[in-house]
Copies of this chain bind each other. A is one copy, B any other.
């Protein structure tokens, strides 16, 4: 299929829901994608199976604190510079671009770069959500190295980082993000078509598009957008288990930009059916855990999304404010994200949490009736 202007808002909305609070403000990404499609025409969204095994493909995105990304907008030239530097080092031109994460701005920017460079984008990503660190991908879990990675800032300064350890690329890259002002364009996990086929979380761009559309159509009709949202997710191959965890008003927010991350905690006071209760969320770019007192309601890598209580519009962690009426949704991560190998890389312990990973559907009922 072709991604055109009419898809932009739906894709941005769906990606922000799957971004579980992170991935960067999709509003900016939508503005950039709209302009890129106007300037360069539609972008081909292709199936990973259409790649030849030897084709060179690479994911593209932003690295840094979402709190900075909203104020330091890419101009586009640095995105091209990152790709060209990687191509030059590899000695091979890219056949297509990919997403590192189907979250927030990072679901949209590969399409922006693709429009500028006349390349297609592979339908899928490396997480089925968003994560704060670059080794937290199914690419990594399938043995695809994160490097060489190229970072580029708004002056088109470029930095190529190579290491046999993907965690070293994260560590060195994170310090460079800070030196580059808190956010940068990155092109990483350069891989061949054969590696993309075995490591991709498939179809997540069209899935995000459908998710955003379902919410919009419910709003413009008489349906409840939350019912539409949960109904759509239950029909997917990854996100069958999902539910509204909590409804209430945001009453306390602690947020700091530290070491290239946006770290914080949100407290929500229950309203309606949740009156008299209180939920706390802890986040590192993305939401990590939802707790009611000592009880965990959902925990990483399962997805936690904060949505506007009336419209189901997603709110990113840098967009959180005091006094918002919100609903918090829990969504099961794709099965590939819940294996022991996967949990070792992006389970609760990878974020310093003591709680073990427990699947959302074991923490509470996720049947349609319970939501």
Contact = CB atoms under 8 A, between A and B. Distances in A.
Contacts of A179: 171-172, 175-176
Nearest to A179: B175
Interface in A188-234: none
A178 interface: yes
Contacts of A163: 155-158
Nearest to A158: B162
Contact of A175 (B161, B162, B175): B175
Interface residues of A, number: 23
A159 B91 CA distance: 18
A88 interface: yes
Contacts of A251: none
A159 B160 contact: yes
A351 interface: no
Nearest to A171: B179
A341 to B, nearest CB: 24
A210 B184 CA distance: 49
A168 interface: yes
Tell me which of A163, A165, A178 has the highest count of chain B C-beta atoms within 10 A of its own C-beta: A163
Contacts of A88: 89
B157 A159 contact: no
8 contacts: A157-B161, A157-B162, A158-B163, A159-B160, A171-B179, A175-B176, A175-B179, A176-B176
Given A89-B89, A160-B162, 7 more contacts: A155-B164, A156-B163, A156-B164, A157-B165, A157-B168, A160-B161, A172-B176
